[in-house]
Structure 1
């Protein structure tokens, strides 16, 4: 505390400390005390790289943030269930975790600040509606470390049910395109926790959907779940058109070739990706091959 530093814009927006101006020190500077306990629950914190984390599952600060994230637009999208309302419910010990959302009654909500009869009924309806969200929304909403909305979609397509995902091993998860070792370990650690398992059982008992809702148009078995990379230009198609076709049939598009790439679509003037695909024995498709694949 009290040091002078030089900062710069990192990534055009984030302040980054470049160096400390030690020559500006007066002797009145104070060493910053590194917290050893969570300021809310007072449990010990654990240092992970540059982060200090509280792992107490009963911490109310964490409970609030987990529930807020669960109800957010990219997750279960519960309209009208915002941070202020969630904070009231946690502070009053009406709810402790996101599974408790589905036990809320009209009389739990109506007395709260800024809640009237109509807004309470609207929220009850929104909570009920959220039970039918697709599996990827639920996976995202669970708040698994290192798993965001895109990874949740990948996992939903791969496993189809929450139970299958919960039983997956690190090795099985690592085989999935775009799921690396850190993500795989985060998933296994999350679902192996007995507290987490209890919450998920409550979600199931409440009637929350735990299965992927399949789009009947995405049934091309030669493409669904496969990973594609595109190089060069394909006469008659823009790159976006190719990507949209692949995604509409359940495939995935990546910008880089790896051992997990299933197909390289190579048009005119291909780049270095073609050479790498040949070394990895990746299936290479020209225009005719691509069209035969999408129109069997």
Structure 2
């Protein structure tokens, strides 16, 4: 085990994949140039190690990047492409949704199409055209897999699983976590299976399911609540598609209460699917109606004070849990 930042953990996964399989290559805007001079950014140093044949800068065209990935996958390669900011993935969705996600189905399951799309998410004072959480869009597409790590070990392990998975996988990496979160990371080819959640904190009074940076907000809220005698269980989903419903439902059946938390807007967000799943499966076992905690239904603000208001805070989470537990 070595302590690494989340960005360093992603870079380690990419380096390992490039070493292990000649069919793996990286492509994206500026991934090998001065844009990535920061050692905590995930392609730092990879161009120098593997050369421009394996680490390829591309034109500023997300549609072209996604098309390159689909074509390379069809030829038997394992492309790992980067979309610089989450809203920009809208420009790549034709290739991702109408081609990558459907090709294996159209082959009758006879062919595999390994393809990984890494996309940066999060709110980091860059405005609404660079910050827009669209994970619920992606989770609505049969044939895709969607991972959303919260810590360095999972960032490395989920990315390695994605690269060597036979299906197209979108790995969402919250950009502020690249340098703000440091933790122990297993050495070598240690993978985290897609579709397997993790209990980040055990609790008895309520279950909260979340992912990405919101996991740390939930854990902070759980610590606050513990001082008040309220025990909150935090489930880090890690993968949104496939979703580990078994772990979530098992937790809810033990605690009797459920909350979903995410930084995306509330209406039609992923939390709605979580609440519906819990309500359908655990209706007679719930002590209170399940709840969603999410961002307001507005574009992400630019200024730091407004951005802080926009994102659900630990205090907001703690207040919602108190209301749920105490009635």
Task: Judging by fraction of residues, say which structure has more strand.
Answer: 2
TM-score band by shorter chain is under 0.3
Q: TM-score, normalised by structure 1?
A: 0.26
Q: Which has the higher contact order (CA 8 A, sep 6+)?
A: 2
Higher-Rg member (1/2): 1
